Amino acid sequence: MGTKTERLKLNRIKAVLAETGHTGKWLAEQLDKDPATVSKWCTNAAQPDLYTLQQIAESLSIDKHLLLTRSIMR
């Protein structure tokens, strides 16, 4: 795995949270997850599984595809 600066950005969770006016803490509460876990998703240090990605989208009332970067959708 690469360094922090080389890490692939696979999700847009942080951006979508900002766009929708929510915080990582709010999302952690919605999903009953540790805020540190959500923080790792937001920085792309870790990725949620597909089931969790769907739960995130439902919590934000958006299409799950909006949570993925274009590079992953090609």
Tell me: the pLDDT tens digits for 10-59?
Answer: 999 999 999 999 999 999 999 999 999 999 999 999 999 999 999 999 99
Which residues are CB-neighbours of 48 under 8 A, at least 6 positions away?
A: 11, 13, 41, 56
Residue 50, domain member (yes or no)? yes
CB 68 within 8 A of CB 12: yes
- At 69, which CATH number? 1.10.260.40
CB 16 within 8 A of CB 62: yes
Residue 56, domain member (yes or no)? yes
Read off the pLDDT of each residue in 68-74 and give the average, rounded to a whole number.
69
Beta-bridge mates of residue 68: 11
Tell me how crowded residue 11 is: count the other CB atoms within 10 A of its CB: 21
- Provide the number of structural domains found in the chain: 1
CB 38 within 8 A of CB 28: yes
pLDDT at 8: 86
Residue of 73 and 25 predicted with greater confidence: 25
